Structure 1
């Protein structure tokens, strides 16, 4: 028996800078998960993933990540995605330098 579809966001890494990025509803990319498009239809999710994978000059490793609606936009449902959105863990740089992530 197949699992029921749960909401997703398209995520990848920026090819040049390596940052975690998320696809928005207007086909652009953002480093802020709250600005990502929350996809609630399985067929739409597959199409959006294919759109992302075609952007190989901009992104690498695109995939669908489970998410849920939040007060300010999509929120992760799995520890891995929550960890990815805060940036590298080896020392404070990038997203971890921002006061909002402390």
Structure 2
């Protein structure tokens, strides 16, 4: 029996900056997970993933990431995505500098 589909977002790395970005419902790439489109339908998620994967001039490494739906927006279910959301950890720059 196939595993049930769980909520996901589309994530990638911005081609020029290398930052982690998330696909929004209005087809933008945002560095903020709270702006990401939460996909709850598997067929819709696959179509969105296919479209996002073809945006070679903007992003690399496009994939679906598991999330929980919360009142504050998508929240990672895996430590890898929580780590990616915070940005580089070697010193305060990028997203961490804004904290």
State whether TM-score is above 0.5: yes
Residue 58 (structure 1) aligns with: 58
- 1:43-67 superposed Cα distances (whole Å, 9 cap, x missing partner): 0110010111110000000000001
How far 1:73 moved relative to its partner?
1.0
Residue 79 (structure 2) aligns with: 79
Residue 11 (structure 2) aligns with: 11
How far 1:81 moved relative to its partner?
0.2
- 1:24-46 superposed Cα distances (whole Å, 9 cap, x missing partner): 00111100000000000000110
4+ runs deviating over 3 angstroms: none
Q: 1:23 & 1:86 partners in 2: Cα distance?
A: 17
Residue 97 (structure 2) aligns with: 97
How far 1:90 moved relative to its partner?
1.1
- 1:63-83 superposed Cα distances (whole Å, 9 cap, x missing partner): 000011122211111100000
Following superposition of structure 1 onto structure 2, how do residues 26-45 of structure 1 map, counting pairs within 5 Å? 26-45=26-45
State the SS of the aligned residue for 1:48: helix
Aligned length: 99
Residue 49 (structure 2) aligns with: 49
TM-score (normalizing by structure 2): 0.97
Name structure 1 gaps, 5 residues minimum: none
